Structure 1
Amino acid sequence: LRFVDGIALSRLDWAGAAIALCGMAIIVSGWKSA
Structure 2
Amino acid sequence: MEAKRVEQKLTGANLPTTFTASRKSSSSSLASQST
Structure showing greater radius of gyration is 1
Q: Between the two structures, name the one with larger relative contact order (CA 8 Å, sep ≥ 6).
A: 1
Report the Cα distance in structure 2 between the residues aligned to 1:14 and 1:32, rounded to whole angstroms: 26
Structure 1 consecutive aligned stretches of length 4 or more whose deviation exceeds 6 Å = none
TM-score by length of 2: 0.61
In the alignment, structure 2 segments of 5+ residues that lack a partner are 1-10
More helix by share: 2
* RMSD of aligned Cα (Å): 1.5
**Seq. identity, %:** 8
In the alignment, structure 1 segments of 5+ residues that lack a partner are 1-8
TM-score by length of 1: 0.62
